Structure 1
């Protein structure tokens, strides 16, 4: 039993102490070309261009020197909600003031009716709406169309899991991590899964947050409707990051008490 205490201490050391290499972002990993500080890292050769999908929310604005023309293409109160930031908070504003693409890929606009824009890029969809409005008016009425923010879902070892919205037209994986509360100490940062939506289906991609080469990866930028999932380490079964030390400390305390009790009983025999 005397040899049990060093073994317990060794187990404690191996489980309670998590190497910095398992929690540090953007390292130069062995086997990859080393990337020095201040070195320019070009974006991935794959050009980022999001394709609109059913159930996306797009923001469509109309502008003209004649305001009476633009009023005909706006839902009542939508401009007021944009200017006032109303509608359940700034993070939800596009849900209330934007246009939702239906299951068939159409948006329904006042006066213009149903226009199919799913399967198009933002620029292509904007041109299609612009062509539709040019049929009605010879005067200049300009159309601006954009995605109503980048919506993504964070699951697993995040401090703030759930659906989040970034009010930008481009955001990195680290923007998403910051909004999702970053990952806690028990997350497997080398196994971040991205479930990405494509035309007609989904794909699961895996990235390594430890790897500095991520900056040149096609998954460095997130896309609307991405689902991010971080697996926990196996040590997670002992508890979360806050109570892990106390849980293992309790195990060591019980083990030490058993050793002491055994030693006393042995001495009295």
Structure 2
């Protein structure tokens, strides 16, 4: 009777071991097709290497929660400092330190667009800027300043960096502020340390803000045709979320080496149990 129980136990353990081995073999390793960016996929038109791609870019229009930097220089300022903006470097250095500590570089020095679409400027008061481009804001401020400044002056308006959030299967998830006027989605991913091997690259969730609200999109980073899409360039206040692949749910290895280690550990455990049962 004892031998029968041992035989049944061994058969049960071997069955579980075989089942575990099959599950690990078929689902553990993440294939290169799920990792390699910018592939020519079968369901999309092929883009050859070296092929010129023309961008049909729309100028970004300001929205709630954007921050812009405004600088006004008179002739006296230009005569004193020339065309250099070196007088702003101390403030920029302070801003970089804030950024490294998790703060927003232009939060203290820039002008935030409020919920009514206004920014508040000295002398001018509230100025409606929502749904305007950076160049349109510059022209608007120049026109209003001419009521107060009789001499020649120069107005400089820039977007206070691109703010976006990276959530989910990123190596360094978080909120980022990048001091650029334009940035691709791959640059944004690079700032967040790239996507982990178990991140779902073919269905990246992108939440994009519009004047009337927000929209959710699914972006395929594996498809080379993303370069032709409206999602190739990140916009301020975009949010990126990468879901995990099934391999994480199964708790298997991310690559062949990890999967092999898991299989060896499983065999070692079963051998130990069988050895105990045989004694």
Normalised TM-score (structure 2) = 0.81
* Rg larger in structure: 2
Who is 2:228 aligned against? 216
Q: Deviations over 1:5-26 (max 9, x none)?
A: 5543332222322110011100
RMSD after superposition: 3.0
Who is 1:123 aligned against? 135
Distance verdict in 2 for CA 1:151–1:240, change over 3 Å: farther
Matches within 5 A, 1:114-193: 114-193=126-205
Who is 2:44 aligned against? 32
- Does 2:215 match 1:203? yes
What residue ranges of structure 2 are gaps of 5+ in the alignment? 1-10, 81-86
Who is 1:52 aligned against? 62
Deviation for aligned residue 1:254? 4.2
Q: Deviations over 1:123-176 (max 9, x none)?
A: 111111111101112211121111100000111101111110111000000110
What residue ranges of structure 1 are gaps of 5+ in the alignment? 71-77
CA distance in 1 between partners of 2:20 and 2:207 (Å): 41
Matched residues, number: 256
Q: Deviations over 1:34-86 (max 9, x none)?
A: 1121111222x3x3211111221100011221239x9xxxxxxx94643x521
Normalised TM-score (structure 1) = 0.83
- Does 2:119 match 1:111? no
8 Å CA contact retained: 1:134, 1:141: no
8 Å CA contact retained: 2:17, 2:270: no
Distance verdict in 2 for CA 1:261–1:112, change over 3 Å: closer
- Which moves more between the two structures, 234-243 or 193-202? 234-243
